[in-house]
A and B are shown apart, each in its own frame.
Chain A
Amino acid sequence: MKLQKLCCVVLGVAAFGFGMAAENAMAQNEQFIPRLVYRTGPYAPNGIPFADGYADYLDMINARDGGVGGVKITYEECETNYNNDKGVECYERLKNHAPTGATVVDPLSTGITYALIERATADKIPIVSMGYGRADASYGAVFPYVFTYPTTYWDGADTIITYIAKQEGGVDKLKGKKIALVYHDSAYGKEPIPTLDKLSAADGFTFLKFPVSPPGIDQKATWLQIRQQRPDYVLMWGWGVMNSTAIKEAAAVGYPMNHFIGVWWSGAEPDVVPAGDSAKGYKAAQLSGVGRNYPVINDILKYVYGSGKTGHTTADKVGEVLYDRGVMNAMMDLEALRIAQTRYGKKPLTGEQMRWGLEHLDLTPQRIAAMGGTGLLQTMKITCADHEGGGSVRITQWDGKAFHPVSDWIKPHQDMIRDMYKESALAYAKEKNITPRDCSQISEAR
Chain B
Amino acid sequence: MLYRETGQFKTSYIADQAIFPIRQDRYLAAALLVVAYVAVPILGTEYWLLTIMIPFLVFALAAIGLNILTGYAGQVSLGTGGFMAVGAFATYKITTSFPGLNIVVVFVLAGIITALVGVMFGWPSLRIKGFYLAVATLASQFFLIWMFNKFPWFNNYTASGVISAPPRAVFGHFFVTGAEANPVDKYLFVLTTVVAMAFIAKNLVRGRVGRSWMAIRDMDIAAEIIGIQPLQTKLLAFAISSFYCGISGAMWAFIYTGGVEALAFDIDRSFQILFMIIIGGLGSILGSFLGAAFIVLVPIFLEYTPMSLGLNIPVNYISNMQSMIFGALIVFFLIVEPRGLARLWQTGKEKLRMWPFPY
Contacts and interface: CB of A to CB of B under 8 A. Distances in A.
Interface of A: 1, 15-16, 18-20, 22, 37, 39-40, 44, 48, 77-79, 81, 84-85, 88-89, 92-93, 96, 110-111, 114-115, 117-119, 121-122, 133-136, 185-188, 190-191, 193-194, 211, 214, 424, 428, 431-433
B306 to A, nearest CB: 10
B24 interface: no
B159 A194 contact: yes
Q: Which 10 A-B pairs have the closest CB atoms?
A: A19-B308, A39-B316, A187-B160, A79-B315, A79-B319, A40-B319, A92-B51, A122-B179, A77-B315, A118-B179
B307 interface: yes
A313 to B, nearest CB: 12
B161 interface: yes
Given A20-B308, A92-B50, 9 more contacts: A15-B305, A85-B257, A110-B160, A115-B259, A118-B259, A122-B179, A187-B162, A191-B159, A214-B263
A211 B261 CA distance: 15
B231 interface: no
B258 interface: yes
Given A186-B263, A424-B159, A118 B258 contact: yes
B166 A191 contact: no
Interface string B100-134: 00000000000000000000000000000000000
A18 B305 CA distance: 10
Contacts of A110: 160
B308 A18 contact: yes
Given A85-B55, A89-B300, A432-B164, A44 B316 contact: yes
Interface of B: 46-48, 50-51, 55, 96, 149, 156, 158-162, 164, 166-167, 178-180, 257-261, 263-264, 300-301, 303-305, 307-309, 314-316, 318-320, 348, 351
B257 A88 contact: yes
B257 A19 contact: no
A92 B50 CA distance: 8
B315 A84 contact: no
20 contacts: A1-B351, A15-B308, A20-B48, A39-B315, A44-B316, A48-B316, A77-B314, A77-B315, A79-B319, A88-B51, A93-B51, A96-B46, A118-B164, A119-B258, A134-B160, A211-B149, A431-B96, A431-B166, A433-B166, A433-B178
A424 B156 CA distance: 12
Nearest to B145: A213
A77 B55 CA distance: 23
A114 B315 contact: no
B301 A16 contact: yes
A214 B258 CA distance: 22
A81 B319 contact: yes
Contacts of B314: 39, 77
A431 B258 CA distance: 13
A328 to B, nearest CB: 22
A20 B259 CA distance: 27
A111 B307 CA distance: 26
Given A18-B308, A20-B304, A190-B159, A118 B178 contact: yes
A188 B156 CA distance: 17
Given A78-B315, A190-B159, A432 B47 contact: no
A24 to B, nearest CB: 10
A110 B259 CA distance: 12
Nearest to B47: A92
Contacts, number: 120
B179 A40 contact: no
Contacts of B303: 79
A89 B51 CA distance: 6
B164 A114 contact: yes
A111 B263 contact: yes
Contacts of B166: 431-433
A428 B158 CA distance: 9
A187 B161 contact: yes
B305 to A, nearest CB: 6
Contact of A117 (B51, B259, B307): B259
A118 B166 CA distance: 11
Given A19-B305, A118-B178, A40 B160 contact: no
B159 A136 contact: yes
Contacts of A40: 316, 319-320
Contacts of A92: 46-47, 50-51
Contacts of A135: 159
Contact of A16 (B160, B180, B263, B304): B304
A234 B308 CA distance: 49
B356 to A, nearest CB: 11
Contact of B348 (A1, A22, A214, A432): A1
Contacts of B309: 15, 19
A125 B315 CA distance: 23
A290 B103 CA distance: 51
Nearest to A1: B348
B149 to A, nearest CB: 6
A187 B263 CA distance: 9
B315 A16 contact: no
B302 to A, nearest CB: 10
Nearest to B258: A118
A187 B260 CA distance: 10
Contact of A190 (B160, B179, B315): B160
B185 to A, nearest CB: 13
- Most chain A beta-carbon contacts within 10 A, residue among B149, B307, B319: B319
Contacts of A111: 162, 261, 263
Contacts of B178: 118, 432-433
Contacts of A48: 316
Contacts of B261: 111, 114, 186-187
A190 B167 CA distance: 25
A191 B348 contact: no
B332 to A, nearest CB: 13
B348 to A, nearest CB: 7
A118 B55 CA distance: 18
Nearest to A40: B319
A110 B156 CA distance: 19
A396 to B, nearest CB: 26
Contacts of A85: 55, 257, 264
B262 to A, nearest CB: 9
B167 A432 contact: yes
Nearest to A19: B308
Contacts of B149: 185, 211
Contacts of A133: 160
A200 B171 CA distance: 49
A1 B350 CA distance: 11
A88 B160 CA distance: 19
